[in-house]
Amino acid sequence: MRTTNWIILALLALAMTAAAQQSASAPNNSQGPTAPAASGPAQPALAPPTTMDQVVDRAIMREHDLIKFLAPHTPVVETYLQNLTQDPQLGPIPENDRYFLGRMDLSDSIDRSDFLSDKGKGSKDKDEGMEKHLLGGFTKLFKFQYQPLGFSWMIYADRNDFDRQHYDFRYARREFLGDVRCLVFDITPKKDAGRGRFLGRIWIEDQDFNIVRLNGTYARPSRNSYYFHMDSWRLNLIPGYWIPAYIYSEEGDFTAGARNKIAFKAQTRLWGYNLKTGTASDELTQIRVDSVKDETPAAQDASPLAAEREWQQQAEDNVVERLERAGLLAPEGDVDKVLQTVVNNLEITNNIELPRPVRTRVLTTSPLETFSVGNTIIVSRGLIDVLPDEGSLAMVLSHELAHIVLGHNLGSQYAFNDRMLFSDEATFQNLGFKHIPEEEMAADKKAVEMLKASPYAQKLETAGLFLKALQVRAPQLTALLQAHLGNSMTVNGTVARMAQLTNGAPPLDWNKLDQIAALPLGGRVKLNAWDSKVEMVKAQPVAITSARDKMPFEVTPFFPRLARYNAPNEPAANPVAATTAANPAAATTTATNTTPTPSN
């Protein structure tokens, strides 16, 4: 069906078409005075619909409300894509990968600006950096084009023309998604509705009639364009609205005889809707340093060393606050406590006493990385996701703790507030915490010493296995392993960390079902799309029944457990949950050791 020279030109052109058609729908609102009485024009309290037609009208109205509500927001949007190749034993495995990170502007159409434009100045043309990132070797080879906007397009069914003039709605059935009862409709664009119209299925919750899930593609690609298939999920994270949070895309066919062996899987996550929009005046706001109350006895001047430490703390606070403001650092929360427990275990058993406590925070992005600034250790969400157990988490944290213990301070230049004044998208060009190789080696050495004296001494085999699995996949996962702020875990495709642990680990064996070296992405940490908070996933472990179930470092579909909004002050029996479905080993990391449950 597909030929290799098709161009995946996902939907960028569509944005323009849709914008051009925008005026057509405005005066012609389907919820006008002629709408059925029961769902009549915008009344504060609407009577429940009594027919499926009225349900559709209400859903259309709610979709337009959502579009209006989200217009001032500029969430962070991340797409991580793995191109797949068929492995006879393991099935589809990653062949190479791509990573996009940007901010979406939902005001007029859907537009985005990218964090990863090429180094330095930020390119004159904002698409240029994005384009470069997309068109790597793979795309040159197959003449494919991935437009990151394409992956995030399906946050709405149709930004401008979601109405009865453009679409036919056919009721399919009722279905529960998680705790939420839904009415399911199949949607097809009308014959003359034009290109780039949504084709697929929507799930409408049966209380306020918001769309909570969209699954399908866009209809009538032109000869040299191609629309992705997408599964788009919304969560009820604030009262009254269901916020687009996850989009899964997948293309490809590995059945025998399929002509085209090109395939990919991609996860798109949105978060940080409630971040302040980066207006010009916002960027010029002086960063306030939250000063810790001075505990030293009165009438004492700072000694040179005390001044040095104060200075470092100022830099640390600046960086933490700046990253949080850009949506790249999760607010303090439960996951930090898990990390903190492990750090404490390392500190206590090694008699480490530091003038200030070590703090831990979570970077909200997927690429595997850690770094530290002052006494704050920062670990990426993606790295926490793929670590198989607490021992391997200890391995990761011990390296950063070693930098702190050895006084490898980086980032004191950020104590100058002017260095915090940049646009969010320029974060990676303006901040950096990379150590020189000598410091990396010294930190590894110290880390291994600390681990051997810690409660994790007996659990380092899995940590070594994790590094081995990382080594096996490293050549294919360059985007996932590209650190944006700290040192990458690999150098030129080779794992550059903790070689000593690798040597002590047993051989890696995919067929050993009880050997879990690394987990798929998304299995441990869930990120709240609205407020960017992170928490540990609470999922039942699923038994692994074949080597193909292991999916180390891989992308899987999303299957969040939908639930209605719970006010945060009532402890929710079942908090808004988002776990990935195909997660073989979603055992929660706590301070106690948890090992994924293998099948027997």
List Cα–Cα distances, 33 to 29, 42, 49, 376, 534, in angstroms: 9, 10, 16, 58, 44
d(CA 57, CA 50): 11
Given the rule CB under 5 A, which of 271-279, 292-300, 350-358, 429-437 is the region that contacts Zn ion?
429-437
Q: List CB contacts of 352: < 8 A, sequence separation 6 or more.
A: 346, 401, 405, 450
Q: How far is the CB of 521 from Zn ion (least distance, A)?
A: 22
Query: Within 10 Å of residue 540's Cβ, how many Cβ atoms?
Result: 10
Which CB, 309 or 445, lies closer to Zn ion?
445
Q: How far is the CB of 441 from Zn ion (least distance, A)?
A: 9
Q: How far is the CB of 486 from Zn ion (least distance, A)?
A: 7
SS (H, E, C) 91-145: EEEEEEEEEEEEEEECCCCCEEEECCCCCCCCCCCHHHHHHHHHCCHHHHHHCCC
Q: Which amino acid belongs to residue 66?
A: L
C-alpha dihedral over 541, 544, 550, 551, to 10 degrees? Answer: -70
For Zn ion, the binding residues in 356-395 under the rule CB under 5 A are none
Which CB, 39 or 372, lies closer to Zn ion?
372
Which CB, 423 or 471, lies closer to Zn ion?
471
Which CB, 307 or 441, lies closer to Zn ion?
441
d(CA 135, CA 141): 10
Given the rule CB under 5 A, which of 165-173, 437-445, 459-467, 507-515 is the region that contacts Zn ion?
437-445
Could you tell me how many residues of this chain bind Zn ion (CB under 5 A)? 4
Given the rule CB under 5 A, which of 205-213, 291-299, 441-449, 529-537 is the region that contacts Zn ion?
441-449
Which CB, 319 or 443, lies closer to Zn ion?
443
Angle at 384 between CA 493 and CA 562, to 5 degrees: 125
Q: How far is the CB of 471 from Zn ion (least distance, A)?
A: 18
Angle at 455 between CA 450 and CA 457, to 5 degrees: 65
Given the rule CB under 5 A, which of 97-105, 266-274, 439-447, 572-580 is the region that contacts Zn ion?
439-447
Which CB, 63 or 440, lies closer to Zn ion?
440
d(CA 524, CA 536): 6
List Cα–Cα distances, 47 to 39, 197, 287, in angstroms: 6, 31, 49
Angle at 328 between CA 322 and CA 331, to 5 degrees: 80
Q: Which amino acid belongs to residue 380?
A: S
Given the rule CB under 5 A, which of 123-131, 283-291, 295-303, 479-487 is the region that contacts Zn ion?
479-487
d(CA 237, CA 568): 10
Q: How far is the CB of 376 from Zn ion (least distance, A)?
A: 14
Q: How far is the CB of 402 from Zn ion (least distance, A)?
A: 8
The site string for Zn ion over 484-513 (x = CB under 5 A, - otherwise) reads ---x--------------------------
Q: How far is the CB of 342 from Zn ion (least distance, A)?
A: 17
Given the rule CB under 5 A, which of 96-104, 255-263, 430-438, 449-457 is the region that contacts Zn ion?
430-438
Site residues (vs Zn ion, CB under 5 A): 435, 440, 443, 487
